[in-house]
A and B are shown apart, each in its own frame.
Chain A
Amino acid sequence: MRRVFDRFLTGLTALCALIGVSIILMIVAAVVWRGGGAISWDFLTDQIRLVGASGGIFYNILGTLILLVTALAVSAPFAFGIALTHGVFLRKTRSRERLMMWIYVLNGVPSILLGLLGFIVFVLFLGWGKSWLTGGILLGMMMVPTVAVSLSERIQALPSRYLDAAAGLGLTESQRIWSVILPQSFGGWVTGSLLGLARAAGETAPIMFTATIFAGATLPTGIKENPVLSLPYHIFILAQDSFDPATGEKLWGAALVLLLLVFSLSLAALPLRLHLHEEAKTS
């Protein structure tokens, strides 16, 4: 009886894992099957034409990249600040746990609320209209917890002999940070940023009221009233009107490009992460 139950549990949990794996396989298969045919050099380098039914997604890709680069730049100082505060300045104090709770809560804030906040602050108060910079700032704030946690984990994992050696050389705290802690934990920033960017790349909710439009934008030339096109918003708009067969393949093609972008970002983050994770658990 006990053995039967053991077998049963093994089978049941294996089935659960199988369902999880088959969901991802089905998603990839569906997107590749429907959108694979649309991918061509012209599709990637031409601008949008005929409300998405013709032409390509060049400025959508470019717009998404502009948003991501801005988000990366915005998130970095906050992430370093939080990680150093958490991992170095608040080491061995109770406030450190409290800071972690804040970061968790910040991480849990639904992305549509960042969009709403951005709309109130940048569109209504500052009168920026839709601007690529608003989108970059909002996506950057969304990334901050992911990057900060990844960086802070790495700082805490630094071998204490490095810090002892630095202290032994008589370095001041800021010298220790600049010459030991930051260079040694740089990988944590890269990993966290890749993960954060993977999440930010697919977000529609924060940028749809604040930064992106469907058609008619190219390269931004200033800040105010300078929206960009973007991949997620393009898909979001076309998806609501998906009965036109001409847009169909282009729509799935755009989804495939977005999926590839997101997957390559998260796969790039993976080696460092898996390594660290498994090591941390077994030691």
Chain B
Amino acid sequence: MASVGFTAFAILFLIGMVGIFLWQSLPVWQQEGWSYLTGERWFFRQLEFGILPMIYGSLAVALIALGFSVPIGVGAAIFAAEILHPRLRVPLKIAVELLAGVPSVVYGLLGILFLRDWIYSILTPFDPLSGDTLLTAGLLLGMMVLPTIMTLSDDALRGVPTGYRQAARGLGLTRAEVIFSAIFPQAWRGILAAVLLGFGRALGETIAVFLVVGRQDNVLPEHWFSLRPLIEAGQTLTSKLGGAETHIAYSDPLHWAAIVGLGLVLLAIVAGITWLAAWLMRAKEVSDAPGI
């Protein structure tokens, strides 16, 4: 019975977190309403709290991260699961496992001392103010979520029963054709789940982003497809939460509510994405036909 108690507590922990964030952020919802989410200006001294630029920043860095890590991660997973000799799989898995273990603060340190300067010198023609940009944070995040995407895609590919491969090879298909016509149709749900979980991780990552994103408030593109803000400093939901404002905000109820509101918004987005990914993986397990 104690087991069920601890399980219930772990679930209540999550519900309690949502409850506490909701309660603590209530003043800002009462004050700003929906314009908390759609407002473009955050000036806490004037008690103006609009978080759209931070939502934009978070989505921008996470999408850049996926743009880097999805092709490479899925490619590497195909190589590991379908092409590489089984005996060489183990060293590759170990390397990926270690990559997954590198602490985010170490990524941040490498970002500060190397990536930031490289980005700055590459971007020189565009006249950037510094190497602290949304692009820098996105690329760093891309490296960080690469192991997640690779490992989970590899699991999805390996989950396809060997019988499908043998049957497809027996029809005279090349290995590439087997992958595209027999494996992908089976594994796409798992791969999509891997991408979503990588997306969730990228949105929630704080420390490495904090160190290289520049933490410039109120940056939004002039029009929808303008890429200019990507090579300028920006602010994400997490870099705001991790910053100095969290330390000073709790002396003012409205400011504090606005800070906790960032957490609530982040939690809603990431939990939604994670739930969708878990649902995709579960649906796959249920629909898995017994092997041929």
Q: Mark A110-123, 1 if CB is under 8 A from B, else 0.
A: 11110011011100
**6 cross-chain CB contacts under 8 A:** A81-B6, A100-B282, A120-B20, A208-B242, A209-B246, A235-B109
Chain A residues in 8 Å Cβ range of B219: none
Residue ID in chain A nearest B277 by CB atoms: A104
A6 to B270, CA, bound (A): 38
Chain B residues in 8 Å Cβ range of A12: 75
A265 to B97, CA, bound (A): 11
Total inter-chain residue pairs, C-beta < 8 Å: 254
Partner of B101, one of A17, A25, A199, A251: A199
A170 to B290, CA, bound (A): 34
Interface size class of A (residues with CB under 8 A): 35 or more
Does residue A43 face the partner (Cβ distance < 8 Å to B)? no
Chain A residues in 8 Å Cβ range of B147: 20
Chain B residues in 8 Å Cβ range of A203: 103-104
Q: Mark A12-30, 1 if CB is under 8 A from B, else 0.
A: 1111110111011101001
Q: Mark B74-102, 1 if CB is under 8 A from A, else 0.
A: 11101110011000001011111111111
Chain A residues in 8 Å Cβ range of B104: 202-205
Does residue A213 face the partner (Cβ distance < 8 Å to B)? no
Q: Mark B19-42, 1 if CB is under 8 A from A, else 0.
A: 011001000000000000000000
Residue ID in chain A nearest B274 by CB atoms: A108
Does residue B11 face the partner (Cβ distance < 8 Å to A)? yes
Chain A residues in 8 Å Cβ range of B170: none
**Using a CB–CB distance below 8 Å, which chain A residues touch chain B?**
2-3, 5-6, 8-10, 12-17, 19-21, 23-25, 27, 30-31, 34, 77-78, 80-82, 84-86, 89, 97, 99-113, 116-117, 119-121, 124, 141, 144, 198-199, 201-205, 208-209, 232, 235-236, 239-240, 242, 251-252, 255, 258-259, 262-263, 265-267, 270, 274, 281
Chain A residues in 8 Å Cβ range of B177: 2, 6
B9 in contact with A78 (CB, 8 Å) = yes
